[in-house]
């Protein structure tokens, strides 16, 4: 039976099939299983013909059961195709206004069936096939989740989720200057382009295998967290993502289409783009962490003050800057702070340094209900730490 099947396979599949079946006595059902594995495997087999789990194709390349051409947004496919043609990222013989030609060019089929990438990217109602195509956005008062202000949940294809996510974040993000009241990009406490890159990365690189998973954006008064379910590749860690690193997309077909459609500047450049946008806007570089099966990007916007007025870094009094630099990540008494700054006059320190920093929300007391506590010490708030890190980066 193996010989009969082998003759009908293309050369690559024939090689895979014969490699796996060599030195094995297989019954009919095992032969069929071997054939399926050979068709679905995207990496080379080992000399022993083993089939490690890591060698199976990515989730986005796997066939999506019952998905048909009628379920896809053909206008959206052509729109992305035209953009890809404009960027010269389509084969010369591919008609950017022919949805089926684009589907073939982008590898959106597997074994004659539309795959999960086609569903995630272009389905009108992808949740009917993959309920995990969800984006959740919430905003909270303060720095934790105790007081929920707004919550939105979107289901749709990746392009729809990206558009709705940007729009919703523009509406929920705190303003630099509330007295202005205008929700323009330059009045938001976080550069929207950096947040957009984080959203693209989360939607593109998340682990879609979890049917109850989603991409989440939580917006607080002093920071925003973009999180997606999924772990880093083996031997990778979060700090590596901030340096030059090779690209290893979890969903390579989705990444390829996003790049062709102009939504990604290039594979492996998302984190660098976020950092650049944050530096240009004078915001701390994003923090990246991996915990409990989630990958998180944390943006801190340090210039939210108690009186809701935005003060650019260059307008912060030099006394406050000196106190922040001296305090760092430590917890110090007033006397210890004076020593670090090099001051002798306590009244001058209290009035021009400490009180200003407290009023601006950069410093807080260890015992806020008892300002004259004998063991009173001071430490930086989240905003203060963000500003301290910004100063450290500029050195």
Domain harbouring 168, CATH code: 3.30.565.60
E strand or H helix that includes residue 241: none
Clarify whether residues 42 and 172 are in a common domain. Answer: no
Cα-based angle 186, 190, 196 (whole degrees, multiple of 5)? 100
| pLDDT single digits (tens) 68-107 | 999 999 999 999 999 999 999 999 899 999 999 999 999 9
Clarify whether residues 273 and 238 are in a common domain. Answer: yes
| pLDDT single digits (tens) 128-187 | 999 999 999 999 987 889 889 999 999 999 999 999 999 999 999 988 766 566 778 888
pLDDT for 26 equals 59
Q: Is the pLDDT of residue 16 over 60?
A: no
Clarify whether residues 77 and 179 are in a common domain. Answer: no
Clarify whether residues 154 and 287 are in a common domain. Answer: yes
Query: Which residues, listed in sequence order, are joined to residue 380 by a DSSP beta bridge?
Result: 363
User: Rounded distance, CA 293 to CA 50, Å?
Assistant: 28
User: Rounded distance, CA 136 to CA 124, Å?
Assistant: 19
Residue 388 C-alpha from the chain's centroid:
24
Q: Is residue 63 part of a domain?
A: no
Unique residue bearing structure tokens 């083993």: 50
Clarify whether residues 358 and 218 are in a common domain. Answer: no
Residue 350: CB atoms within 10 Å: 14
Q: What is the DSSP string of 282-324?
A: T-PPPEEEEETTEEEEEEE-TT--TT-----GGGS-HHHHHHH
- pTM as predicted: 0.66
Q: Is residue 332 part of a domain?
A: yes
Clarify whether residues 271 and 231 are in a common domain. Answer: yes
DSSP class of residue 92?
Answer: T
- Region 372-395 average pLDDT: 81
Q: What percentage of the chain carries pLDDT values higher than 70? A: 75
Total of domains in the chain? 4
Q: Is the pLDDT of residue 53 over 50?
A: no
Clarify whether residues 162 and 277 are in a common domain. Answer: yes
Clarify whether residues 19 and 48 are in a common domain. Answer: yes
Clarify whether residues 106 and 52 are in a common domain. Answer: no
pLDDT for 24 equals 56
| pLDDT single digits (tens) 231-249 | 766 656 656 665 665 566 7
pLDDT-derived band of residue 361, with 50, 70 and 90 as boundaries?
confident
Mean pLDDT in the chain? 81
DSSP class of residue 56?
Answer: B
Q: Report yes or no: 229 and 210 within 8 Å, Cβ to Cβ.
A: yes
Domain termination site, one of 256, 276, 300: 300
Q: Is the pLDDT of residue 47 over 50?
A: no
Percent helix, strand and coil across the chain, each to the nearest 5: 45, 15, 40
pLDDT for 346 equals 94
| pLDDT single digits (tens) 346-359 | 999 999 999 999 98
Q: Is residue 268 part of a domain?
A: yes
Q: Report yes or no: 384 and 358 within 8 Å, Cβ to Cβ.
A: no
Clarify whether residues 107 and 181 are in a common domain. Answer: no
* Residue 387 CB-half CA count within 13 A: 30
Unique residue bearing structure tokens 């199976």: 56
Q: Which domain holds residue 361?
A: 313-394
Q: Is the pLDDT of residue 308 over 50?
A: no
Q: Is residue 222 part of a domain?
A: yes
Clarify whether residues 11 and 119 are in a common domain. Answer: no
Clarify whether residues 262 and 385 are in a common domain. Answer: no
- Region 12-33 average pLDDT: 56
Domain termination site, one of 300, 322, 350: 300
The dihedral through the CA atoms of 26, 27, 30, 32 has a sign that is positive
Best-predicted range by mean pLDDT (2-11, 121-130, 361-370): 121-130
- The CA–CA distances, whole Å, from 31 to 7, 37, 303 equal 14, 10, 64
């Amino acid at each position: 039976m193996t010989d009969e099947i082998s003759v009908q396979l293309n050369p690559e599949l024939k090689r895979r099939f014969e490699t796996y079946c060599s030195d094995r006595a297989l019954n009919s059902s095992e032969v069929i299983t071997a054939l399926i594995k050979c068709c679905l495997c995207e990496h080379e087999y080992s000399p022993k013909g083993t089939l490690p789990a890591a060698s199976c194709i990515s989730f986005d390349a796997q066939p999506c059961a019952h998905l048909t051409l009628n379920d896809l947004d053909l206008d959206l496919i052509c729109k992305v195709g035209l953009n890809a043609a404009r960027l010269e990222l389509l084969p010369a013989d591919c008609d950017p206004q022919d949805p089926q030609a684009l589907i073939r060019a982008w590898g959106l089929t597997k074994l004659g069936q539309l795959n999960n990438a086609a569903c995630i990217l272009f389905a009108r109602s992808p949740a009917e096939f993959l309920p995990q195509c969800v984006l959740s956005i919430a905003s909270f008062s303060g720095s934790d989740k105790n007081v929920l202000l707004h919550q939105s949940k979107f289901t749709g294809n990746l392009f729809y989720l990206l558009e709705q996510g940007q729009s919703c974040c523009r509406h929920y993000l705190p303003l630099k200057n509330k007295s202005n009241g205008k929700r323009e990009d330059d009045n938001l406490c976080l550069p929207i382009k950096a947040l957009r890159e984080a959203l693209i990365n989360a939607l593109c690189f998340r682990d879609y295998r979890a049917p109850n998973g989603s991409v989440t954006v939580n917006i607080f008064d002093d920071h925003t967290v973009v999180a997606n379910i999924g772990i880093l590749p083996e031997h990778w860690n979060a700090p590596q993502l901030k340096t030059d690193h090779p690209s290893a997309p979890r969903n390579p077909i989705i990444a390829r289409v996003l790049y062709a459609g102009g939504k990604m500047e290039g594979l492996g450049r998302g984190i660098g783009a976020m950092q650049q946008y944050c530096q240009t806007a004078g915001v701390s570089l994003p923090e990246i962490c991996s915990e409990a099966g989630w990958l998180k990007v944390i943006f801190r916007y340090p210039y939210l003050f108690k009186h809701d007025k935005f003060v650019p870094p260059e307008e912060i009094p030099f006394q406050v800057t000196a106190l922040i630099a001296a305090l760092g990540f430590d917890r110090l008494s007033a006397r210890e702070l004076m020593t670090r700054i090099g001051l002798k006059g306590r009244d001058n320190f209290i009035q021009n340094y400490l009180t200003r920093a407290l009023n601006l929300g950069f410093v807080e007391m260890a015992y806020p209900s008892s300002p004259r506590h004998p063991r009173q010490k001071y430490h930086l708030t989240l905003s203060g730490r963000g500003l301290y890190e910004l100063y450290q980066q500029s050195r």
